Chains A and B, each alone.
Chain A
Amino acid sequence: MENVNLKINGLNVTVPAGSTILEAAHAAGIRIPTLCYLKEINEIGACRMCVVEVKGARNLAAACVYPVAEGMEVLTNTKKLIESRKRTLELLLSVHDKKCLSCVRSGQCELQELCRELGVEDEEHFAGEKPRYDPDTSAVHMVRDNNKCILCRRCSAVCEKVQSVGVIGPNNRGFATFIGSAFEMGLGDTSCVGCGQCIAACPTGALYEKDNTDDVLAAIADETKHVVVQPAPSVRAALGEEFGYPMGTDVEGKMAAALRRIGFDRVFDTDFSADLTIMEEASEFIGRVKNGGVLPMITSCSPGWIKYCEHYYPDQLAHLSSCKSPQQMFGAVAKTYYAEKMGLDPKDIVCVSVMPCTAKKFEIQREDQDAAGVPDVDISITTRELARLIRKVGINFRALPEEGFDDPLGESTGAGVIFGATGGVMEAALRTAVEKLTGETLENVEFTEVRGTDGIKEATYNVAGMDVKVAVASGLSNAKVIMDKIRAGEADYHFVEIMCCPGGCVNGGGQPQVHADVRNFEDVKALRAKALYDNDAARTLRKSHENPSIKKLYEEYLGEPGSEKAHHILHTTYVERSIN
């Protein structure tokens, strides 16, 4: 590729042609502050935080969208620029509610950080009319508080471009502009899928999940309740970031220790029910192939994906596996098998899940998710909420020992762990399905073709004389590509994995928010996924059907995968929804 030479703050910099000034500065180790910019998602140059001086240019240029040119001379840190950025912040603050003390984002807010860095001393510098909005609490999973919104449009860009949903965006014009839905509908009335990618993209505290940490503490405080917890595979790959560990650190042992110290009666693991999902899903897949069922079969672990399919592809629901998600399977087993084993009334068990996901808060309230006549899962909190909970009860996370999970619902294999990365469910399913179909031991368990962070991956495997064509998609705009092919009858896949969030659960909407400075230049998805693949590689048991506790569950209680009892407890149904 052709290179361009320029000077930034007097330093000679050489970057590929087509780079922006922001990228060139980053390459030279110079940080230019940004606010509205999200790489490849929101490149609108609107917020004016990243302004720089370009020699010969009449006005200050927005570094995030301004392309470099040969011989260009750029200054990024003059007094004039610092004053300009500070003025921009003061203007933003003139309509901001500035309630930092009680804000969920305080300490991790990009706006707050910039104000501190640039020395904003007077929050009321531009005192004047302030528009006030009622927070939108209509959605099950989240709140939008426009009083903290800076109109950067990162949320609406993610919703429309990355997720192909587009239920939020700027309404009205000028001073009256606010982020909302069509005809001022509450988010809960729209076809929002609950993925929470808008929350992950938000630089301030305008978007946040509905916090259920107090519900967890209340359940633990209730002596009559037996409270069990299940953290999802990807939580262990990201929770550490909240406590200063480098991105991609696996904190499984400390996480288990923290959960125990919070006071849960049993610390189990969603990895267990991920293995269980594989047993049921592999069996369902083999059944569909042998009995001429609807193909391709599509995975059903991701509640954001399920809701998307129900809203946008209601005519394609027969493709969805009837398996409940691992979260729900866990709750269902906890309140049937485990309750019986322990002599507990399912009503007295409180099942708490820790998820990388906000859509899980919606999923626990779905119909047909109540194997024991009570909701399978009672409370679902995000990774962020777990971090909040750990702080709230005064646990020094970094000083914790490494601990394990409790038996029997805490035992898992490497196949369960990799569920958290795009392609992981497919790989785990293949490990089991291939052995079941061939009747031979699978030596190489790594299906590397379905690994990696590409939005769409395809592979064909010859299994017992049959070519099995699989596809893996993550991010709903990629799911849409696959679904349009399926709807048009142009897809010849047998098995498809779809995850709502780009990169899978490791990059879920409930995971620790990543500062744009990091997100724009690092591969967050790959770093977190590596923690899961390393966890898997270090294990002896890497196939779901080899999990001793799973074997025992079938022997003692469920019978065979796909049995009538398994169907009653572990499978569910879907509903057609409309686009709003």
Chain B
Amino acid sequence: MAAKKGSVPFYGTKEQEEALLKAISELRNEKGALMPILQKAQDIYGYLPMEVQKIISDETGIPMEKIYGVATFYSQFTLNPKGRYRISVCLGTACYVKGSGDIYNALMEKLGIVGGECTPDGKFSLDACRCVGACGLAPVMMINDEVYGRLTVDDLDGILAKYK
């Protein structure tokens, strides 16, 4: 089995690493330090790639698998960065019955990623969300703060093209 590497190359800066090491040294001796360390790490990097989890493991002595297990258990943690353009497709009831599932699947296919991931160029990330309060416009998706309503699959190429 090949390791599940992130689809986006890791570009951590020296400053980020120093901030992480500082956070670990402040928290390491507390009971149950792993959760706050992971939260801090995600604050610093925006996500928890293998490289960041490795630093945490080396510094704390907590096995990588344990860290990964916690990171994949809680929905607050993500293994993938967010793109410059964050696409959220509403899979809430109203949107879903209006076909947002098809929109979501079509986006995965067009972008070549699955939900929760980011395209290798760092441009688009895709997530499902629940109700953005625009049920009258169902099916709805958002790209950053822009709302797109009454969508069809045919609209998607035109919308994505705006962000090229």
B57 with A579: CB separation less than 8 A = yes
Q: Judge whether A182 and B1 touch: CB under 8 Å.
A: no
Given A169-B66, A182-B53: A136 in contact with B72 (beta carbons within 8 A): no
Interface digits, A207-236 against B, CB 8 Å rule (1 contact, 0 not)? 000000000000000000000000000000
Contact of B73 (CB < 8 Å), options: A173, A184, A189: A173
B164 part of interface (Cβ distance < 8 Å) = no
Contact mask B47-80 → A, CB, 8 Å, 1/0? 0001001000110000111111100111100000
User: Which B residues are CB-close (under 8 A) to A168?
Assistant: 65
CA distance A173 to B75 in the complex (A): 9
> Which residues of B lie under 8 Å from residue A173 when comparing CB positions?
72-75
CB <8 Å contact, B65 and A166: yes
B31 on the interface (CB 8 Å rule)?
A: no
Check B63–A183 contact: CB distance below 8 A.
no
A496-549 with Cβ < 8 A to chain B: none
Answer yes or no: A404 CB below 8 A from chain B CBs: no
Cβ contact of B1, chosen from A165, A169, A171, A184, cutoff 8 A: A184
Q: In the complex, are the beta carbons of B73 and A172 less than 8 A apart?
A: yes
B1 x A166 contact (CB < 8 A): no
How many residues of chain B have a CB within 8 Å of chain A?
Answer: 20
Chain B contacts with A in 1-31, Cβ cutoff 8 A: 1-5
Q: Which listed residue, B5, B66, B73, touches A183 by the CB 8 Å rule?
A: B5
Is A408 engaged at the interface, CB distance under 8 Å to the other chain? no
Per the bound structure, the CA–CA distance linking A186 and B3 in Å amounts to 7
Contact between A580 and B64, CB atoms less than 8 A apart: yes
**Structural contact, B69 and A171, CB atoms closer than 8 A:** yes
Do most interface residues of chain B lie in helix, strand or loop, or is the interface mixed? helix
The CA-CA distance from A182 to B65 in the complex, in Å, is 4
A:149-169 near B, CB below 8 Å? 156, 160, 165-169
Residue from B2, B64, B73 whose CB has the most chain A CB atoms within 10 Å: B64
Note all chain B residues with C-beta closer than 8 A to A172.
72-73
Interchain pairs with CB closer than 8 A, number: 66
**Complex alpha-carbon distance, A560 and B65, angstroms:** 48
Smallest Cβ distance from A267 to chain B, in angstroms?
39
Query: Which residues does chain A contribute within 8 Å of B5, judged by CB atoms?
Result: 183
How many angstroms between the C-alpha atoms of A134 and B5 in the bound complex? 18
CA distance A357 to B65 in the complex (A): 24
Residues of A within 8 A of B75 (CB): 173
Tell me the residues in window 98-123 of chain B with beta carbons closer than 8 Å to chain A beta carbons: none
A167 adjacent to B63 (CB under 8 Å): yes
- A183–B50 contact, CB under 8 A? yes
B69 engages A169 (CB within 8 Å): yes
A464 CB to nearest chain B CB (Å): 41
Using Cβ atoms and an 8 Å threshold, which residues of chain A touch B65? 156, 166-169, 171, 180-182, 190
| A441 contacts the other chain (CB 8 A) | no
B67 touches A182 (CB 8 A): yes
Is A185 in contact with chain B by the CB < 8 A criterion?
A: yes
Chain A 168-202: CB-based contact to B (< 8 A → 1; otherwise 0): 11111100000011111110011000000000000
Q: Does A460 contact B (CB under 8 A)?
A: no
Nearest 5 pairs of A and B residues by beta carbon: A166-B63, A182-B68, A182-B64, A186-B1, A184-B4
Residues of A within 8 A of B (CB): 134, 136, 138, 156, 160, 165-173, 180-186, 189-190, 579-580
Q: List 7 A-B residue pairs with CB atoms under 8 Å apart, sorted by A's residue number.
A: A167-B63, A169-B65, A170-B69, A170-B73, A171-B65, A180-B65, A184-B2
